[in-house]
Amino acid sequence: MDILQFFVERHDEILRKTWEHLQLVGMSMGIAIVIGVPLGLLLTRKPKLASPVLGLANVIQTVPSLALFGFLIPIPLIGGIGMRSATIALVLYALLPILRNTYIGIQSVDAAVVEAGKGMGMTELQRLRLIEVPLALPTVLAGIRIATVLTVGLATIASAIGAGGLGDFIFRGVTMVDSRLIFAGALPAAMLAIGLDALLGRAEKMLVAA
Amino acid sequence: MAGPAVELKDVSKSFDGERPALSGISLVVETGETVVLLGSSGSGKTTTLKMINRLVTPDEGEVFVRGKEVRAWDPIELRRQTGYVIQEVGLLPHLSVEDNIGLVPRLSGWSEDRRRERTLELLELVSLPPDAFAHKRPSELSGGQRQRVGVARALAADPPLLLMDEPFGALDPINRRRLQSEFSALRDRLGKTIVFVTHDVPEALRLAHRIGVMHDGKLLQLAAPETILNEPADELVRELVRLDTKEAILGSRS
């Protein structure tokens, strides 16, 4: 029960760190979506680019996260200590699921439906807007959901390069061998992941039904 | 407008650069006429159809729609003035029946009121009560209802020319017969020029003013149904038409 007591005593700090964490995730996801979705669309139009770009995103995904955060520290302008370089790393990780699902979502739209649109006199842009994007939407949104849950977890490690967030508790807890501190970071992070996943799931249902 | 509704002049096409999909197709479709292209799969009938709305461009030869070569048309304009009905997949699964039918008018910038009025009119025309059907999704409809919506959509912007690719292909024989007779009544009333593709001989005989029998990328004979039956151009035409007719007679008795 002292974990509960710990949560009650430190609720200010826990809430503040959770909010920091949410900001880090929100910012990274926002940027990743703004880059990933249009880039995914572009890849369906430029098939030659698709495999190198998706391959690169795959490679980034395989770099251990702690190492990637470390690599960013000495890089001028975009690197260094703090929230900015953490955001960049998180964007790089979130990019693959978004990029890949956008690409696959558009690719798997029935070619006959697209041709029917063409036969009705739709321009390429109209086909994209009225047929391909709406039909690919569930897959694209699934990619965003996966990326969000992934980012909530990864963002705890960003604390290692001074980005703040719930990872601060976890790293402190590990150093001090205090499981209460680890819990104070891990539990809100898990709840955040579950909560965001549920929220996006609901958004998905609403958008797809509309 | 000058010239016949559709004219193909010595059109050839190959998709792989070796085997011809079409070789030397020439045909004329007069305004108000229904020409049915009849042939088995791979005969080139669908490719011929897609030449007309420029979904496929010929390697050789020319295609004229209302006297103008298709490559001189703006493809978007050409397609909006040409109704296009295909089997099953032609409806957009994420749009309601009403939105599907109103799609081409919407692309052409009609006002919402005018679009709505036209949609309701068309639903009546194809015997689907608007109250019951306007808001349904294609997945909630039966095969026959979907095809009716497909026909309504092709008619939406009142195009003078309709291209129909196996529009009744996915239907059971009873619904197929019913849609065919409704369709021919509708056609006689509206006076559209129609190019219709099918592999079904009875369907061709029932709907066509003239039938073009196709095989292996060639147009074997283009003539009135009686002529095709009574004076086939060669053995192959006789064979292609006769085999299926037997089946159809047996089929319609059962």
Tell me the per-residue pLDDT of B187-245, one tens digit each, with 9 for 90 and over: 888 889 999 999 999 999 999 999 999 999 999 999 999 999 888 889 889 888 875 55
Cβ <8 Å between B93 and A112: no
| pLDDT, average across residues B152-159 | 89
DSSP, collapsed to helix, strand or coil, labels residue B223 as strand
User: Is pLDDT of A57 > 70?
Assistant: yes
Nearest CA in chain A to B99: A130
Tell me the per-residue pLDDT of A129-181, one tens digit each, with 9 for 90 and over: 999 999 999 999 999 999 999 999 999 999 988 888 999 999 999 999 999 99
CA distance B160 to B162: 7
A112/B contact by beta carbon, under 8 A = yes
Cβ <8 Å between A130 and B103: yes
CA angle B119, B80, B148 (to 5 degrees): 40
User: Is pLDDT of B31 > 90?
Assistant: yes
Tell me the per-residue pLDDT of A105-140, one tens digit each, with 9 for 90 and over: 999 998 888 988 999 899 999 999 999 999 999 999
How, if at all, do strands B218-223 and B60-65 pair?
unpaired
Report the gap between the CA of B167 and the closest CA in chain A (Å). 13
Residue A29 main-chain phi, psi, to 5 deg: -65, -40
* Polymer length of chain B: 254
pLDDT band for position A4 (cuts 50, 70, 90) = confident
Amino acid at A210: A
Report the gap between the CA of A101 and the closest CA in chain B (Å). 19
Other Cβ atoms within 10 Å of B72 Cβ, number: 10
More confident residue, B86 or A98: A98
Q: In this prediction, what percent of chain B has a pLDDT beyond 90?
A: 58
pLDDT of residue B13: 93
User: Is pLDDT of A17 > 50?
Assistant: yes
User: Is pLDDT of B254 > 50?
Assistant: no
Nearest to B175 by CA among B212, B121, B127: B127
The answer to whether A167 and A112 have CB atoms below 8 angstroms apart is no
| pLDDT, average across residues A92-112 | 93
Q: In the A/B pair of chains, how many CB contacts fall below 8 A? A: 52
Distances (CA, A) of B15 to A80, B58, B217: 56, 10, 12
A176/B contact by beta carbon, under 8 A = no
CA distance B143 to B176: 10
Q: Which of residues 119-138 of A touch B (CB under 8 A)?
A: 119-123, 126, 130-131, 134-135
Report the gap between the CA of B59 and the closest CA in chain A (Å). 20
DSSP H helical ranges for chain A: 2-9, 11-45, 47-62, 65-72, 83-107, 111-119, 124-127, 133-157, 167-176, 179-209
Report the gap between the CA of B220 and the closest CA in chain A (Å). 27
CA distance B207 to B198: 11
Query: Which pair of structure tokens corresponds to residue A12?
Result: 């200010």
* List of residues 6+ apart from B237 with CB closer than 8 A: B213, B220, B221, B228
Cβ neighbours of B156 in A, within 8 Å: none
pLDDT of residue B173: 85
The answer to whether B165 and B195 have CB atoms below 8 angstroms apart is no
Q: In this prediction, what percent of chain A has a pLDDT beyond 70?
A: 99
Cβ neighbours of B91 in A, within 8 Å: 116
User: Is pLDDT of B44 > 70?
Assistant: yes
- DSSP letter string, B169-212: TTS-HHHHHHHHHHHHHHHHHHT-EEEEEES-HHHHHHH-SEEE
pLDDT of residue B243: 55
Cβ <8 Å between B84 and A130: no
Nearest CA in chain A to B78: A121
* List of residues 6+ apart from A94 with CB closer than 8 A: A28, A29, A32, A36, A147, A148, A150, A151
CA distance B147 to B127: 12
pLDDT band for position A74 (cuts 50, 70, 90) = confident
pLDDT of residue A78: 77
Q: Show the beta-strand stretches assigned E in chain B.
A: 6-14, 20-29, 34-38, 60-65, 68-69, 82-86, 161-165, 193-198, 210-215, 218-223
Nearest to B200 by CA among B251, B134, B162: B251
Q: Is B150 left (phi over 0), alpha (psi -120 to 50) or beta?
A: alpha
Option in B81, B94, B104 nearest A135 (CB): B94
The answer to whether A126 and A175 have CB atoms below 8 angstroms apart is no
Cβ <8 Å between B55 and A130: no
User: Is pLDDT of A23 > 90?
Assistant: yes
CA distance B239 to B222: 15
User: Is pLDDT of B16 > 70?
Assistant: yes
Cβ <8 Å between B103 and A120: yes
CA distance B96 to B86: 18
How, if at all, do strands B60-65 and B68-69 pair?
antiparallel
Option in A116, A123, A130 nearest B76 (CB): A123
Cβ <8 Å between A119 and B92: no
To the nearest whole number, what is the mean pLDDT of chain B?
Answer: 88
pLDDT of residue B253: 46
The ipTM of this complex is 0.79
Sign of CA dihedral A88, A93, A97, A99: positive
